[in-house]
Amino acid sequence: GAVVSQHPSWVICKSGTSVKIECRSLDFQATTMFWYRQFPKQSLMLMATSNEGSKATYEQGVEKDKFLINHASLTLSTLTVTSAHPEDSSFYICSAPPTPNSPLHFGNGTRLTVT
C-alpha cells in the first residue's frame, strides 16, 4: 500500500515552454505533498510543501512564480515549471505521507531536460 505515482517519468522540452508534472497518491489521501529537486550527484533539495485546498509553502530561494504548485484534490498535486530554461533540467521527485506521522512515500521521479 501507500503508492505515490508520478507522471511523466521523463520529459524533454524546449527552452521557454512550460512543463507540468503530476503526483498522485494512489491508495491514500494526501493533504500534504512535498516536491524535491535533485541535480546529478547531489542530494534531494526540498522545493515546496503542497497543501490541499490552500497555497503551497515554498522554501527559501525557490521562485513561486516559476514553479507553480496546485493541490486541487486529496490525491493529486501538480508542479508546473514555467518558462523552462536549461538550468531547470533536473530530477523532480514528489512525496507524501499517508498520515502526518507516517513515513514519506516517494514517486519515482520525473527527469526534465530543457533544450
Partner 1 sequence: DAKTTQPTSMDCAEGRAANLPCNHSTISGNEYVYWYRQIHSQGPQYIIHGLKNNETNEMASLIITEDRKSSTLILPHATLRDTAVYYCIRRSAGKSTFGDGTTLTVKP
Kindly list the residues in this chain that would bind partner 1 in the complex (CB under 8 A): 4, 6, 34, 36, 43-46, 49, 91, 93, 95, 100-101, 103-109, 111
* Least distance to partner 1, CB of residue 100, Å: 5
- What is the largest distance, in Å, between two alpha-carbon atoms of the chain? 40
The DSSP secondary structure of the chain, one letter per residue, reads ---EEEE-SEEEE-TT--EEEEEEESSS--SEEEEEEE-TTS--EEEEEEETTS--EEPTT--TTTEEEEEEETTEEEEEE-S--GGG-EEEEEEE-SSTTSPPEE---EEEEE-
Q: Nearest approach, Cβ of 27 to partner 1 (angstroms)?
A: 15
57/82 with CB nearer partner 1: 57
Cell of 66: 516559476
Residue closer to partner 1 (CB basis): 71 or 105: 105
- Residue number with CB closer to partner 1 (33 or 81): 33
Q: How far is the CB of 43 from partner 1 (least distance, A)?
A: 5
Cβ closest to partner 1, residue 19 vs residue 36? 36
Query: Closest separation between CB of residue 98 and partner 1, Å?
Result: 11
